[in-house]
Amino acid sequence: MADVVEVLVPGGKATAGPPIGPALGPLGINVKAVVDEINKKTSSFNGMQVPVKIEVDDKKNFTVTVGIPPTTALIKKEVNIEKGSPEPNLQIVGDLPMEAAVRIARMKAGDMLSYDLKNAVKEVVGTCMSVGVNVDGKRPKEILAAIDAGTYDSAFV
């Protein structure tokens, strides 16, 4: 029977401290080896929180599975901002190109509730609204209406 530990770590910068060390310590495995593996696998997500699952079997072998960072983290990285707007309806902190919204939707497809790319992109645009980021220079609500009207259908093929 395997033990499973799920943690959220900074991409490429996990340490043996909390939350990883205390969770893995009692399992009797080499925590440094696990941390090194996590950092190797998450280095491309530098600066983002990344969900990681560590499975440890009864022979003390471990497997690290890396998830996709939250949509907000992907948007912030794409727009190059540290954090979202304190007042998303009043203060805009960035602009996400539609191509980037489509790329994020494709990346997150497995984790989303949407059945198709068009609705997945609408989820990403909706997240932009709560972070204070415009899409293609327009307010997210305008973009959602344009998506519904079919304006961006060519981007979803």
* DSSP character string of the chain: --EEEEEEEEBT---SSTTHHHHHGGGTS-HHHHHHHHHHHHGGGBTSEEEEEEEE-TTS-EEEEE-PPPHHHHHHHHHT-SS--SSTTT---EEE-HHHHHHHHHHHGGGSS-SSHHHHHHHHHHHHHHHTEEETTB-HHHHHHHHHTTTTGGGG-
All structural domains of the chain with their residue ranges: 3-66, 71-156
User: What's the confidence (pLDDT) of residue 46?
Assistant: 85
pLDDT for position 66: 93
| pLDDT of 121 higher than 90 | yes
pLDDT (tens digit per residue) in 68-118 = 999 999 999 999 998 899 999 899 999 999 999 999 999 888 788 888 999
Binned at pLDDT 50, 70 and 90, residue 1 comes out as low
Average pLDDT over residues 109-132: 91
The proportion of the chain whose per-residue pLDDT surpasses 70, expressed as a percent, equals: 99
- What number is the average pLDDT over the span 52-73? 93
More confident residue, 132 or 1: 132
CATH class as words, domain 71-156: mainly alpha
Superfamily of chain region 3-66 = Ribosomal protein L11/L12, N-terminal domain (3.30.1550.10)
Q: What angle do CA 105, 36, 10 make, to 5 degrees?
A: 40
